[in-house]
Amino acid sequence: MAGLGVVPGEMLRDFVVLGELSLDGTIAAVAGVLPAAIGANAMGRGLICPAACGPEAAWAGGGMEILAPRSLIAIANHFKGTQVLTRPEPALRQDAGSLADLADVRGQESGRRALEIAAAGGHNLLMAGPPGAGKSMLASRLPSILPPLMPRELLEVSMIASIGGELSGGKLTDRRPFRAPHHSASMAAMVGGGLRARPGEASLAHHGVLFLDELPEFTPQVLDSLRQPLEAGEVVIARANHRVSYPARFQLVAAMNPCRCGMAGEPGQSCARGPRCAADYQARLSGPFLDRIDMRIEIPAVTAADLIGASASEASAAVAARVAVARAIQAERYERISTGAVGINAHCGAALIEQVAAPDAAGLRLLQDAAAALKLSARGYHRVLKVARTIADLAGSEEVGRAHLAEAIGYRIGGERVLAAA
Ligand SMILES: Nc1ncnc2c1ncn2[C@@H]1O[C@H](COP(=O)(O)OP(=O)(O)OP(=O)(O)O)[C@@H](O)[C@H]1O
Ligand SMILES: [Mg+2]
């Protein structure tokens, strides 16, 4: 257009331009406009992008010039001055529909407690139990007790969603991501890849939750591909001639049955295929993968008494309030002592957690005994400390005491009990 003299070329030099031109002259939406806008802003340039992406680009900064025309003619008219485009407004999506509430879950007190701790500290959680006990139900209620994204997190999450083409209408949301891929997911779908090195579920769950239901049904390769992001908080996709890295600091929540028929270890039930059934099923999960899970709990079947006579369970709002307080305590602590990269207990490095979760004398004895008896890995040891720190934060305690550690150790061995019962 500049070559034809329709648009003044020298004015275009101050802009980064992106969009997809249709044959009829309209400009179709493209992925990745938010990071492009932030990049353009950093270079001191303006941005020309498709109309549908305008609200997304507007988040990049109040000072920069943003043009979001519907068609090529609209740009020409804008530069001619006959029809000047207005700057798009940044839009926040008002999530319609309320989230599923924890009040619906009857009984399952220990499951609810574990979910609260996991939400407060951002810990990885594995729930095992017979069919229909409420595992999927509990996990799907996690978003209702998590605090909203902080402004800095919101921008990071939105940039990934933008690149993944997942920002509907160019609007951002402050709800934490909750991704629940089906167990048929491929490696590329999970950690990213494909022709344009798109971000995968692990990255789309950044600062939120990655929920893997029916965990052993995922292929072992896909699960093991999560090992590196679980530790490093990012995914590196290597291609023949370039590498892309996407942030992937998510909280892993998983649910599983103890064996294929689901009844192993249930009182009064027996598994037709004996111990092999559970052993084969659980062998699909690798040791290193399980080692990265901070909390493992059993979700027993609910009894009829729980369902019929039980008084109403606590609603999500009350739990969310306690989680918010515990998160505020953590944010304040890490603001004070660390360089800002850490905001919650789960993200602490080894040295930092040893500093902030140093147990009292009684706690230390318990920890030593447990570490020896359970043959805790170094990672396991630090993960126990992190969970104990969160339990103490929920209790409003400055010190990490014996009771906090005992509960944290209980969550660490929960899984071993499940495995042993089989
Ligand atoms: N604790 C509970 N309180 C109330 N309803 C429950 C509870 N547990 C299960 N239900 C009912 O059973 C249904 C199935 O529960 P859910 O899907 O969470 O089971 P699950 O443990 O994930 O089973 P599976 O192992 O088969 O996936 C729920 O939709 C709900 O109607
Ligand atoms: Mg389920």
Nearest-ligand number for the alpha carbon of 261: 1
- Residue 75, both tokens: 């740009």
Distance 214 CA to ligand 1 centre (A): 13
Distance 128 CA to ligand 2 centre (A): 10
Distance 137 CA to ligand 1 centre (A): 6
- For residue 211, give the DSSP letter: E
Helical packing angle, 378-394 and 109-121, nearest 10°: 100
User: What lines the ligand 1 site, CB under 6 Å?
Assistant: 105-108, 129, 131-137, 255, 257, 302
Which ranges in the chain are annotated with CATH 3.30.230.10?
Answer: 9-80
**Are 328 and 334 within 8 A, CB to CB?**
no
Distance 130 CA to ligand 1 centre (A): 10
Distance 107 CA to ligand 2 centre (A): 17
Which ligand 1 atom is at minimum distance from the Cα of 135?
Answer: 21
Nearest-ligand number for the alpha carbon of 258: 1
Reported as type and span, the H/E element at residue 67 is strand 66-67
Q: pLDDT means per 10 residues in the chain (422 residues)?
A: 85 90 92 90 91 88 88 90 88 74 87 95 92 91 90 86 81 87 93 85 94 93 92 86 88 90 68 73 86 90 77 87 94 82 85 88 88 84 93 92 91 64 42
Q: Identify the bridge partners of residue 296 per DSSP, sorted by sequence position.
A: 126
Which ranges in the chain are annotated with CATH 3.40.50.300?
Answer: 102-146+177-315
pLDDT of residue 339: 67
**Are 172 and 202 within 8 A, CB to CB?**
no
Q: Give the Cα separation of 80 and 78 in Å (integer).
A: 5
Nearest Cα residue to 346 out of 154, 178, 209, 223: 209
Which ligand 1 atom is at minimum distance from the Cα of 105?
Answer: 3
With 0-12 / 13-18 / 19 or more C-beta atoms within 10 angstroms meaning exposed / middle / buried, residue 172 is: buried
Q: Ligand 1: which of 115, 127, 137 to mutate, most ligand atoms within 8 Å of CB?
A: 137
pLDDT of residue 96: 61
- For residue 294, give the DSSP letter: S
**Are 299 and 134 within 8 A, CB to CB?**
yes
Nearest-ligand number for the alpha carbon of 212: 2
- For residue 217, give the DSSP letter: G
Angle at 226 between CA 222 and CA 232, to 5 degrees: 160
Q: Which residue, by CA, sits nearest to atom 24 of ligand 1?
A: 131
Distance 219 CA to ligand 2 centre (A): 18
Q: In CATH, what number does 9-80 get?
A: 3.30.230.10
- For residue 58, give the DSSP letter: G
Sequence-separated (6 or more) residues with CB below 8 Å from residue 209: 142, 143, 146, 176, 177, 178, 179, 250, 251, 252, 253
pLDDT of residue 264: 66
Q: In CATH, what number does 102-146+177-315 get?
A: 3.40.50.300
- Fold for the domain defined by 348-417: Helicase, Ruva Protein; domain 3 (1.10.8)
Which ranges in the chain are annotated with CATH 1.10.8?
Answer: 348-417
Strand, coil or helix: 381: helix
pLDDT of residue 269: 67
Which ligand 1 atom is at minimum distance from the Cα of 139?
Answer: 18
